[in-house]
Amino acid sequence: MNDAQKVVFLHGLGETRDVWNPVIKQLPQTECIALEVLRTKPPPPCWSLKDVCAQIAESLTEPVHLVGLSLGAVIALNIALTHPGKVSSLFVSAPQAKPPKMLMNLQKTLMRVLPTKWVCPPQLSKPELLSVLDSLKDLDLTSQLPALSMPVTVVCGSKDKANLPAAHKISSIIPTAHLEVIQGAGHQWHATHPQLFTGYLTKHLTR
């Protein structure tokens, strides 16, 4: 790494920051911080992407490498757009810039019918989880993404069919972006294949 020496990890929906522990353990020479993204202080009535991004950006005292998966990738992209001076580079897995309505509706349906213990991390109730999805329903970062100028690596598992089209599109409209499709990997490959994830991240950080 040439400029920033700090890597900040942003987890996905239904996860906690602890999901990054196996990845962070493989980066002993790097200063790593994993943040909770599903709570804001003080907690508002509803989860807000704008509020979460503003609070995370405010907490960054120096430019960092942002690493995000799924919801965390959306947050990372948004912070890079609204606070570009805080972001040295982006490593985003399964990102969305304009979540498909069909995908969002399917997620909400599953969240409603599945048991809370299956879909909600310990710190979140099902209504709070649904409010996160509601906050993203009108999101559209597409027209803003060409303005990004920091190094960007977009990654997505080859089995993550729901997010592959967005990964291809996002990487094509960010001038500095590089796409890696991870063969045989699914959506949560950071958890199932942490060593593989770390390998691609390390390659990004040294690129």
Q: Give the rounded percent of residues in the chain with a pLDDT score beyond 70.
A: 93
pLDDT digits 0-9 by tens, 119-146: 677 767 777 777 788 888 889 999 999 9
* Distance of alpha carbon 30 from alpha carbon 147, whole angstroms: 28
Question: What's the rounded Cα separation, in Å, for the pair 178 and 152?
Answer: 6
Q: With CA atoms as reference, report the closest residue to 78 among 98, 106, 61, 62.
A: 98
Higher pLDDT, 105 or 80: 80
DSSP state of 61: S
Q: Residue 45: what residue type?
A: P
Which whole number is the average pLDDT over 8-32? 95
Give the tokens for residue 186: 């699914």
pTM across the whole model: 0.90
> How many residues belong to the chain?
207
Can you list the domains of the chain with their CATH numbers?
6-98+141-202 (3.40.50.1820)
For 78-102, what is each residue's pLDDT tens digit? 999 999 999 999 999 999 999 877 7
pLDDT band with cut points at 50, 70 and 90 for residue 7 = very high
Segment 56-70 shows an average pLDDT of: 96
Give the confidence band of 55 by pLDDT, cuts at 50, 70, 90. Answer: very high
List beta partners, residue 154.
Answer: 92, 179
Per-residue confidence (pLDDT) for residue 101, from 0 to 100: 74
Question: Which residue is listed with tokens 């599953």?
Answer: 110
Q: Is the peptide bond before 42 cis (omega within 30 degrees of 0)?
A: yes
